[in-house]
Structure 1
Amino acid sequence: MKKTLLLLAVIVMGTSILHAQRPTPPQITISGKIIDAKTKEPLEYATIVLKHVKTKKISGGITDEKGNFSIKTPKGTYEISFEYISFKTKKLPPKLLDKNTNFGVITLAEGSERLDEINIVAEKSTVEIRLDKRIYNVGKDMTVKGGTASDVLDNVPSVNVDVEGNVSLRGNENVRILIDGKPSALVGLSGTDALRQLPADAIERVEVITSPSARYDAEGTAGILNIILRKGKATGFNGSINTTIGDPKQYRVAANINYRTKKINLFTNVGYSKRTGPGNSLTKLSTLENGVVNSLRIEDREFERDRSNYNINLGLEYFLTNKSSLTGTFFLRDADNGSLSNNNISVFDAVGAQTLADIRIQNESETDKTTQFSLNYTNNINKSGHKFTADFQYSDSEEIETAFINDATGIENNITTENSKNTLLQTDYVLPIGESSQFEAGFRGSYQDLTSDFLVTPTLTPDPSNNLVFKQNVNALYSQYGSKIKKFSFLLGLRTEITDVKVRLTNTGDNFDYNYTELFPTVNLGLETSEKQSFTLGYSRRLRRPRFWFLNPFESRNSQNVIFKGNPGLIPTFTNSFDLGYLQKVGKVTLNSSIYYQHSVNNISRVSRDEIRPIGIGGANEIVTIREPINLASEDRYGFELTTNYNPSRKVRLSASFNVFQSETKGFYTYEQFTQDAGGVITSTPVEQDLGNKNSSWFTRFNARITLPAKIQWQTRLFYRGPRETAQSEIKGIFSMNLAFSKDILKEKGTLVFNVSDVFNSRKRQSITYNPSIDNPSSINDQEFQWRVRQISLNFTYRFNQKKNQRNRQRRGGGDDEGGEEFGG
């Protein structure tokens, strides 16, 4: 496997280097700065359009956050124009460009006229590369229209969202998800459900950070996904209305509205959705004696989820001076969810005779309410990037879930109440040093106070009811220094995190306290050998703290025979992560590849074991599969990733990504194994199971966006994740396909999108778990699970006072401008 990864990397890099050595036509550089004529503020994303007088070929570029631009172009005579949304276009007469030219400071005045018809240059590439991150721009992706944040993440290169909503980065599920650079209530108590309620239309872009700098939390051994929400900054009143209908039943209406004057900027994302989510699962649990099946239990479950959700994100930015602003944001999510599950249970003996037929009905209702208030102060001390920001954030989340269960063993009621109060304090200071260096320092304090109360009636044996109190305080200090010396860039940082965790199980009186102080160094290096070729090397130390649901020993009640429970004895996982990246542009093709390696200790893994319990009719004993998280000794994970973008023309845009990885786990699982003799006597035996194993897997994604006649946009996305294996389970590969068609109407003020998600209805997880091991199983659990069936939807977007291809400047300082961008290509 290692040889295969190395060979792939050498082939890609070697081929690209040979291409890079081909001679290119002599070019010159034009540069300058574009500012607002009235406020003198720099205009980010302003467009510079170059039109060759003879060939009529159009090229150009956009300005950075400081309003600066630097564009390479062949020598020649050009018509040049400078454009920005809601501002008057400034055109220059034809000019001969035969040497490097600096246009100085260009001022644009506000105006009501529309931009020139040539606005295609302002469209940013789908994926942008920085020294410490890759940025995926959501706006052009039709396959997520009317969808959720989970759908957006599932379209991002390197990221995969499985059928249960679990997010993984490069095959590793321990990924940290931030909103605008900070932990947020938008992710919620149970992150997967919350991401399914956050609308895709509210998301501007996603930053994939596989080698985070010291400015970021050390949480997340795989890396960080930073979701940036839309915050318009165009002058005046503008926005968009978005509606969706679909089958299975889906209704959604949302609005993104922005109003900006010289002193204030008011922005909001508001929406309401109602949708059903039919799904199914099939479980076959076989018990073995001396390698021969002596019983079989089949659970065929169909469930219907009905979700309604209202959310609003309202913000007001007040410009204190030309250099400073105060921004307050209020977020509210109020969800009301229901789920009806019918589980048909059949049990057969060793000769295949049916001994039990039962129907287990589970009717659940859930309310989820989250409020969050944020306050941000930003002071851009000078135009060179000298900046100070301070943030305060408070959130309160409450989930109440009630379940009514009825089967042959009786009637059961359970209720779960979870409440979490979170406070965040953060300050960041950025000091430019000279023209190409920068120092940063900051503090972040994150404080969580959570209670989880789980009550089951009537009382069962063993009784799963419990009450957990979870407190986690994390205080962090960081500093980092970056510089660019000709073609070489570096960003060096050190972060200190002081963690204090208290777990209280009030029903048993058990207490667990964890206190530790750790250092997390980061190194990010970059080398731009040419305009089209660059290398990056990143190192970071990361950790994974056990979340409260992994520490809570309560038992799930979705199935009598397959039960998940937490483990309050879990300790954090620590990871050293290395990433070597290579970027090469060859004509209209962009290749972005990387080799990565991660070494983890105290690795948190989910394992399975069997217990014998009196759960059958009349208290008869049956085998129950217990799934729980434990710490294993170590895990080594390494892989190779390749992302390719090919844009042969304006009408055809193709991209593909491929990721192959291998993990090697070492460690033992110690537990009590329960057996039952012919007389029904149950005995326990201590077992120590070696869970060391090697697992290889891969996944690939292909995306095509093609313009058809009548200006209809056609987008197709194909995804396949290969099979994988652990010490106890085998998981089959998954293939899925999404399809979308888009058409602009109403003079490009409106857009219709027809979307089919999971065209072949093939997005199902199929797995086989062997207890205690694949080599010597005492039980085999064969399971197929489908969270949601194929979805068909029609989406309509109407824009007012804005054009489809124009991009608004983003509010800086709200976690958007994370460190390191000054030093990346």
Structure 2
Amino acid sequence: MKKNHLILTLLFLLATVFTFAQGEPQGGRNGNPNTQPKLKVTGTVIEKATKQPLGYATITLTNVKNPKAISGGISDEKGKFSVETAPGTYDIKIEFISFKALEIKGKSITENTNLGDISLSEDANELNEVVIRAEKSTVEIKLDKKVYNVGQDMLVKGGTVSDVLENVPSVSVDVEGNVSLRGNENVRIFIDGRPSNALNMAEALRQIPADAIDKVEVITNPSARYDAEGGAGILNIILKKGKNLGFNGSVIASTGIPETYGLSADLNYKTKKINFFTNSGYNYRTTEGTGLTNSTYLDKDTRAITGYINEDRDTERLRKGFSTKTGFEWTIAPNTYWTNSISYRDNSGTNKDLVTYNNFDANNIFTSTRYRLSNGDDNSSDFEYNSNFLKNFNDEGHKLTVDFSVTSNDDFENSVITDETIGSSDPAVINTTFNNEYQKQMQLQADYVLPLGEGSQFEAGYKGNYTNLDNRYNVTTDQNGNAIDDLLTNTLNYIERINAVYAQYGFKMNKFSYLFGLRWEDTNIDVNLLDTQDFNKKKYNNLFPSAFINYELSDESSLSLSYSKRLSRPRGRFLNPATNYSSNINLFRGNPDLDPSFSNKFDLGYLKRWDKLTLSTSFYYEHTTDVFSFVRLETGEFVNGTPVILNTPINLAEQDQFGFEFNVNYNPFKIWKLNASFNLAQSNTTGENTYTNTAGEVITQDLDNDAFSWFSRVNSRLTLPFKIDWQATAMYMGPRNTAQGKSLGQIGINTALSKDVLKDKATIAFNISDVFNSRKMKNETYLPTVESYSEFQWRKRQFNLSFTYRFNKKKTDRDKNAPRENNDDGGGFPG
């Protein structure tokens, strides 16, 4: 019944949106029901001073004899436009925010007409009049992806990339920092168009300051040009780079409660030939968290209660880190560019984790209290060198790009764990854990794009990715220094070699656009556990087809259908056999024997734009084999009579997921912007898991599961009196069933205020993360011998205050002279 109510509510909301939209004048800009043959008016909009193209300029054609007959459109990213209209005499107006509009009066259109280059000049008065008018929308909805512009988001000032992703449509971040796209955690993270293979992705995303991020691209169904990895899709995080001529930039200082400090600078110096850029920063951050697990233990045969244990957890984490991306772009020739950059991050910190166990007998009478305190230190450093070469053979998109990168990651952690039962005569047990990971990676990629006449394009490329990871983990006692057992100690050596080639062809016929691609990847992986002499080789090669069809219903609306085959390789915590030992009765351990999962993805999308409203909807279906799933296993071991439970990932049989998603951008007034997103999904998983515990017992688990989930987010940005900007966002993740229990719903609300000062050269922003301290992951788990309820909050409510100062740079500066690194998808739909 609840599902029916939810669906009826959703249908009512959609009907309301469509009803409101239809309140616009019938036909919009193309409302003239003229049956005469259509002619094309084309041209290119450029900036007069720099000759750079102006993307997304507005072109309006008004019939002189019938002012109600209006045609129009917008220019693409290269400034080019093509508008269809009936024969006649028109007044043509070309507009771009913060530029003086240009009008062509009484233009007779009797045949296909090319207006050539149309130059617009900046309007100084317009720039100084209303700052907000020149800003990009926080969320730009495109047919094949969504672009989230971080620079306009006050909520993330002083935060990290994890905070940024919490506000991105279709994306959710759980309290442990794990990222999912449309509810699926098999998402691939890109940095500046290149895949990131951080050792601990959740932690790596907390190390990059939000102030270093320019925008985030959400690509739910990537083309053949992208890596096939990432069953859910790709998130491309694009860092800020120098943009404007001369020396300019901004400096941001921030502070917060719990104790947080940050200082970063975004600087560049650009001449006609060379552009030097850097984004560097230091942060000091403390984070407090809480958790609890209340467990009821049962007799395996009679299901009678044998006892209770209530766990309370308090965590305190301190992070100190420096990060930088510094480089230069050299304009070798007017259409040849070479960009080099070095990225370096160094982080260190401490972790304090106190778990209190209150034990009760079968009658719920208190028996004892046990403390388990973990004090840890960690250090990590990441180095990356990137080189990008771009050769444009002409202005029509014929180009060659070559990318080369080398990275190294080093992560070291150790902790001392003290376990003591209050009032017991037994001495405290002290354990030491040690974990060291080192990873090296090299990537080489070449992409070639060849336009084949109007509306068609061919693209091909190669990519090689070579990774070597070593991980050493053990747990020792302070008495003899030996490993406790094989469950808690091992050395992992992981070697990965992936070679790929692809080709794709796109063309346009009338109102249809097509893009068909095929990618081939050859994978060789060695997973070696050195302590146990367990060597595994995984070798496979696969074809990954993709197809995209787009139909332009009008200048303001389009329909798309897409398909792609994807895979998800197990990485990071999924493979790492290191065991989280903060609780010695509830353990987590990776599974180095995991196989990749394969997905077939289908997506039907609709995009509609009105003057003040943009609507994007999508129906999607995914079929996945060998899907990853976390299971809780009874190890057969006991600690003071309490069974030890191990949480680990395995490959299940298959999963089918159906979903619906919509995103709405609505600007009711110049001072108010609204963005809302909603996603619901139904997934059906089939499979079972059979294992032998340490007691020699064979146990079979039935993991068939039907899960319904939904997720919603609303973001509002409003300019108050005295030019104070206010932003608020609310997120709700609905409950869903799991194979061994359920995850309960969670809600979170963030808010922020900002004010420009010093003649708009500086901005003061104040934000509150998790206003009501409600972002907690809540789970119920049901196993034959234990039932439990748990809560975990990674970070309590946080307050942040930041100050941004800009010099030789307007708040409204656009990317007029951005470095030409190859971060886009190269082809896309031909136009």
Partner of 2:786: 779
**Whole-Å Cα distance in 2 between the matches of residues 368 and 247 of structure 1?**
25
Aligned pairs (5 A) from 1:388-787: 388-408=400-420, 409-458=428-477, 459=482, 461-463=484-486, 464-616=488-640, 621-672=641-692, 684-771=696-783, 777-787=784-794
**CA distance 1:339–1:98, change in 2 (3 Å):** farther
CA gap 1:24/1:303 in 2 versus in 1, 3 angstroms: closer
Change (3 A) 1:79 1:782: closer
Supply the distance in 2 between the matched residues of 1:277 and 1:14 (Cα, whole angstroms).
Answer: 42
What are the superposed Cα offsets for residues 81-117 of structure 1, whole Å, 9 maximum, x if unpaired?
7788xxxx77758846786985422457999999574
2:815 to 808, 815, 821: 808
Q: 1:23 aligns with which of 3, 24, 27?
A: 27
Instruction: Tell me, yes or no, if the aligned pair for 1:333 and 1:370 is still in contact at 8 Å.
Output: yes
Question: Aligned pair in 2 of structure 1 residues 514, 633: CA closer, same or farther (>3 Å)?
Answer: same
After superposition, the C-alpha distances for 1:31-83 in whole angstroms (9 at most, x for unaligned) are 533457788x633459679999xx9xxx9998544343568999987886778
Q: 1:239-278 to 2 correspondence within 5 Å?
A: 239-278=249-288
Aligned-pair CA distance for 1:440: 0.5
Q: Secondary structure at the match of 1:165?
A: coil
Give the distance between the partners of 2:311 and 2:132, measured in 1 at CA.
Answer: 55
Cα distance in 1 for partners of 2:97, 2:8 equals: 46
2:43 to 32, 41, 45: 32
After superposing the two structures, state which structure 1 stretch, 785-794 or 344-353, moved more. 344-353
> What residue is the counterpart of 1:210 in the other structure?
220
Q: Do the aligned partners of 1:132 and 1:820 also contact (CA within 8 Å) in 2?
A: no
Determine whether 1:157 maps to 2:163: no
Letter of the structure 2 residue corresponding to residue 23 of structure 1: G
Q: State the TM-score, normalizing by the size of structure 2.
A: 0.89
1:377 corresponds in structure 2 to 389
| Letter of the 2:588 counterpart | F
Displacement of 1:128 in angstroms is: 3.0
Q: 1:602 to 1:79 in 2, by over 3 A?
A: closer
The letter for the 2-side match of 1:257 is: L
Aligned-pair CA distance for 1:414: 1.4
Q: Deviations over 1:454-474 (max 9, x none)?
A: 122123543412111000111
Instruction: Name the SS of the counterpart of 2:164 in structure 1.
Output: helix
CA contact (8 A) 1:48 1:83 kept: no
Q: In the TM superposition, what is the alpha-carbon distance from 1:736 to its structure 2 partner?
A: 0.6
Share of identical aligned residues, percent?
A: 45
Relative to structure 1, is the Cα distance of residues 325 and 435 closer, same or farther in structure 2, using a 3 angstrom cutoff?
Answer: same
C-alpha distance in structure 2 between counterparts of 1:206 and 1:448, whole Å? 25
Determine the C-alpha separation between the residues in 2 that align with 1:478 and 1:10: 44
- What SS class does the counterpart of residue 727 from structure 2 fall into? strand
Tell me how far apart the structure 1 counterparts of residues 610 and 81 of structure 2 sit (CA, whole Å).
23
Query: Structure 1 residues 26, 613: closer, same or farther in 2, change over 3 A?
Result: closer
Structure 1 residue 356: deviation in Å? 2.7
Distance 2:84 2:698 in 1: 70
Q: Structure 2: how far apart are the matches of 1:655 and 1:810?
A: 29
In structure 1, what is the equivalent of residue 424 of structure 2?
Answer: none
Output one character per residue of 1:355-391: Cα deviation in whole Å (capped at 9) or x when no partner: 3312111101100101110111110111111000001
| Partner AA of 1:781 in structure 2 | S
Shift of 1:746: 1.1
Q: Report the CA distance shift for 1:292/1:102 in structure 2 as closer, same or farther (over 3 A).
A: same
Does the Cα contact within 8 Å between 2:385 and 2:405 map onto a contact in 1?
yes
Contact kept, 8 Å, 2:298 with 2:305, in 1: the verdict is: yes
After TM superposition, list the pairs within 5 Å mapping 1:42-441 onto structure 2: 42-45=52-55, 64-69=76-81, 95=105, 103-106=115-118, 117=129, 122-184=134-196, 188-289=198-299, 290-408=302-420, 409-441=428-460
Shift of 1:590: 1.9
Distance 1:36 1:558 in 2: 60
Tell me which residue corresponds to 2:37.
none
Alpha carbons 1:131, 1:823 under 8 Å: kept: no
Distance 1:548 1:429 in 2: 32
Query: Contact (CA 8 Å) 2:355, 2:373: kept in 1 or not?
Result: yes
- Amino acid aligned to 2:290: N
- Paired residue for 2:805, among 751, 773, 798? 798
Task: Spell out, residue by residue over 1:527-575, the C-alpha distance to the aligned partner (whole angstroms, 9 max, x if none).
Answer: 1101222111110000011114323333221111110112222111000
CA contact (8 A) 1:45 1:809 kept: no
Provide the C-alpha distance between the structure 1 equivalents of 2:583 and 2:528, rounded to a whole number of angstroms. Answer: 27
* AA of the residue aligned to 2:326: L
Q: C-alpha displacement at 1:615, in angstroms?
A: 3.2
Q: 1:381 to 1:587 in 2, by over 3 A?
A: closer
Alpha-carbon distance in 2 for matches of 1:697, 1:131 = 24
Residues 239-282 of structure 1: per-residue CA shift (max 9 Å, x gap): 11111111111111111111111110111110000010000111
Cα 1:709–1:811 change in 2 (3 A) is closer
Structure 1 unaligned blocks of 5 or more: 675-682, 772-776
**Does the CA-based 8 Å contact 2:268-2:278 persist in structure 1?**
yes
**SS in structure 1 opposite 2:653?**
strand
Query: Contact between 1:132 and 1:524, CA under 8 Å: does it hold in 2?
Result: no
Distance 1:8 1:80 in 2: 39
Give the drift of 1:328. Answer: 0.5
**Structure 2: unaligned runs, 5 residues or longer:** 33-39, 421-427
Task: Spell out, residue by residue over 1:149-204, the C-alpha distance to the aligned partner (whole angstroms, 9 max, x if none).
Answer: 111111111100000000001111110110111113xx621001110111111111
Secondary structure (helix, strand or coil) at the match of 2:195 reads coil
* Partners of 1:418 and 1:451 within 8 A in 2: yes
Contact preservation (8 Å) 1:470, 1:548: no
**Counterpart of 1:530 in 2: which secondary structure?**
coil
1:819 deviation in Å? 3.1
CA distance in 2, matches of 1:109, 1:652: 27
**Residues 766 and 8 of structure 1: CA distance in aligned 2, closer, same or farther (over 3 Å):** closer
Q: CA deviation at 1:303?
A: 1.0
RMSD: 3.2
Code of the aligned partner of 1:591: L
Check 1:643–1:15 CA distance in 2 against 1; reply closer, same or farther (3 A cut). closer
Of 333-342 and 807-816, more deviation after overlay is shown by 807-816
| Equivalent residue pairs, number | 796
Q: For residue 35 of structure 2, what is the aligned residue in structure 1?
A: none
| TM-score, scaled to structure 1 | 0.90
Relative to 1, partners in 2 of residues 1:688 and 1:68: Cα closer, same or farther, differing over 3 Å? same
1:13 Cα deviation after fit: 8.5
- Structure 1 distance, partners of 2:237, 2:313, is 34
Aligned to 1:678: none
Cα distance, 1:550–1:592 mapped onto 2, change above 3 Å: same
